[in-house]
Structure 1
Amino acid sequence: MIEESARPFRAELLDVYRLRFAETAAPRLTPEERLAMNEVWDAKVRDNPSYFDGPVLVCAGTRREGPDELAISWVRTTYRHFALRRVPFSTSWLPSFFVAVLQPADDGRLLVRRMSNSTAAPGRWQLPGGSLEPPEGDEPLDMRALHRHAARELIEETGIDASPDDLTFWNVIRAGNGGIGVLFRAPSLPEARLRERFTAMAEAERAQGREPELDNIFLIHSTAQLPLLMGPHADYLEPIVRRYAASAAERA
């Protein structure tokens, strides 16, 4: 059921309201792919020793099941798998499977964050969030697990402590490389609180001798402000901000 490929897509919101998840087997790598993947990964680790080959999920395919439901198949692997993206002849690479959180301020602006130089995407602006990790033990991968993961990503990256039950499923985004992101909306908070929590989180990380994953946050109200974000943007950011701003205008 591998429908996505390495060909580029235009990032788009899929407008689904129910999700179904199914684990599937990983594609078998050829010896040439495995060798090239390891060479690329080892080179990246030499350049940035903070890279960690931990467990991660990737998206093996999606299928519409009626107008409102999306079936997502997923594979257990490690972060090393993403090095296949840089292997030109690879036909076995799979795109990311991630969660992201829309965190509004009280005035309706949306929080975006910039990745620090120690990450895999230095300087890139995107929403708080990250790749999904495999469920532990016999726990299923379901919406409750995604709520928990989204809440954990939010506090780890921004210092904002939201209960999983406070996060509302918002939509699903397909990124330009075929990656699938499940989007949640957090409760609105005052701007001062957002900045206070981010600053406290960053200071706590540095006190432990670690560089924070994020080095800046910004609040935007429309796509017209995206050019103010100096540096690369996640390709999914523009359609999400456009839809968010349109929804906010309808509620006003």
Structure 2
Amino acid sequence: MSWQDAIPNPGALTVVQRNFGVWRKLLLPSMLGNFGDPLLYLLALGYGLGHFVGHMDGMPYITFIASGIVASSVMNTASFEGLYSAFTRMSAQHTYAAMLATPLRVSDILAGEVLWAAIKGLISAIAIIIVASFFGAIQGPWVWLSIPVILLSGLSFGSLALVMTAMARSYDFFMYYFTLAVTPMFLFCGVFYPLHSLPAFAQDIAQVLPLTHAVALMRPLLTGQLPRQVPYHLGVLLLYTVIPYLIAWRLLVRRLLR
């Protein structure tokens, strides 16, 4: 196969439609987690820890951390969907094999999975934005501009997760990704404190990670400001979408068709 075969057809949307139909049956517990988890974070960290921290980067700590939680939630949700849920469909349920018996191609399945992971990330982010808005932690005229950023971030983390899924032989494999990638990004990419508080070498490492750029774009938009270096941050997220997507496609072709 040539790299042109990695370009998906509109059939990728049928994969999204199929996943949405399954998710709709689990809507209530899923939405409970989307609203409940951020509420606990905001109460425990925004109000609890924020009482001692006060202000950070010129804003109340609950405002600072709420925007960071939005970005990290996109990462966690898209990663979980691209890892555990996608692996279940591929290996346990053999859904991919059934899809390949139709006119769908590997690229259609992969693109549909990546897009669905981004949509799940968007749903989670909107839930947090709604909850945080009741606390006055999310406000300003640019909130809606964060939606395309959230989607692009979800595409990035979904593509990265599907690279791991394409290589995995069991669910245990994903612990490496969470321990070595997701958790470090959650802790060191500006979710809980500004990057300039880190040592110089740690700041340099953080600049290579996609969550740093997601936070750099979302935090200003969700707090009534406009982000800086927008083309740079968008470019990094775009690279983290396209390159992992191509790698995942090549790996899935080898796994599913050979």
Pair in the same fold by TM > 0.5? no
Q: Which has the higher contact order (CA 8 A, sep 6+)?
A: 2
Q: TM-score, structure 2 length as denominator?
A: 0.22
Alignment TM-score, normalising by the size of structure 1: 0.22
Judging by fraction of residues, say which structure has more strand. Answer: 1
Higher helix share: 2
